[in-house]
Chains A and B, each alone.
Chain A
């Protein structure tokens, strides 16, 4: 097998294993969060193999770095330990999880029986920041501004809520 194929299977196995680790580590939230980070990093590796470099870096920076650190911060601030979650509360979720796994496995088997099409050629500059930047600030500039307005409203809202507690 070629190196990219080997790397793909390594990252894919890592992503699945760490995702399972996150789900199974219900009692130990910090270990669960670390497994989530591992999943993000493995996914970023797969994005790199797909030549989507910017997405890979943002995957690590934003999801792996910033967001899960915030999860961890909250978990550690509350100092959740194993006995915080009584067993048997998540019966419905378990049923849903089993159904979901069955659906995914069935879909995967259906895909495996068919031959996949060859990937098309990669356009020039694909996956870099330049193309994305041009698209964001020309075609989608209105959407970017709307998103920033939404975030600003969220920040102001959070400040108002937090300020009431401090006063």
Chain B
């Protein structure tokens, strides 16, 4: 053992280079399976998130089948109903009616972005524009309308410029979404506020200066029930926290409509009207009546939303299938690469040990002359090879603990693109970017060391055998 160590340390630079080369090879062996596993995990979690989101949204919509959403889509360019309104609104700034691709057009109205019902239009609804509440008072007079609940929804966050289809869009990355709901008797009769309160309580009629945060919001504001938070210069007391029940709920906080209008400079304006029909049978009639009364409004019934959602689900499923196919491909690539790394490791050991045996022929001859048996000589060289690759195993673990994500990113095709490309784009509001993380588990470390020992033994088997077969008389002649 000591001899093996000393022999290795005899040629320090060579040993170092070989250990590093082997280390990389072993690091690849470690990183790639870890990377592949991480990719799999991230795809799985993506799938899970998506199906949860869709299920939750479906459930919410099913609960509210009598609901009709009426809003001004930003697609109605130049309608100009707010020219007399607040701020620097001009029709041309609506961005050309790009509703549906997930980008809210630039600044308008009171200087606030007002994305669609589904948070940035991820669900194809397009941006929504503020509408003067008083202009739509007549909707409540339509036959079979049970109630009209005006809603103001304003996203707060930072703008990000995105190039797409050769054009530049400003995309809002929302930190949180304020939803103002009239806190009157209608909130008790109609499902306007979230129902799954995870702590505290929901908003009650007649309240002001209070907010109901989402779980996501509590992290953003670092606040919980009973805390006071500041929103756009006003302070609010957190009375409750709701769990999300759909895409739009994850970053949404609820407060009274009047509070929302006042802090966002939208007094008198709302972004949508939730119209409730008396029963589900009359939903279509009511929707038609709203459309004929106000042709500028985008009227969507819960049923239509459900249909849209289902269509989208199909799209997602196709995409997921593609992702899974890519994943399978990734795994076969991973398998091949690990195979190459394994072969490389044993070959490096093989060549090094062959070289060493050749270089030390005379020494082998001496050892045999003074009485070393073939087995003695063989085990000595085997030990050296194994020791060397064990050192390389340690180096490999060190390398991969630092560079595993880089290595697997370099060597594995698509998984990170899976996580950050199309999917996260689609899921902008529901999930922050999924990152590929590669973790070194103790099992992986053990496997790596085991593999190093095994490959070292494998690689040095033939050279050691050659050494043991050396005829001492020949070896002594060798200079």
Chain A complexes with chain B: no
Which residues of B does A touch, CB under 8 Å? none
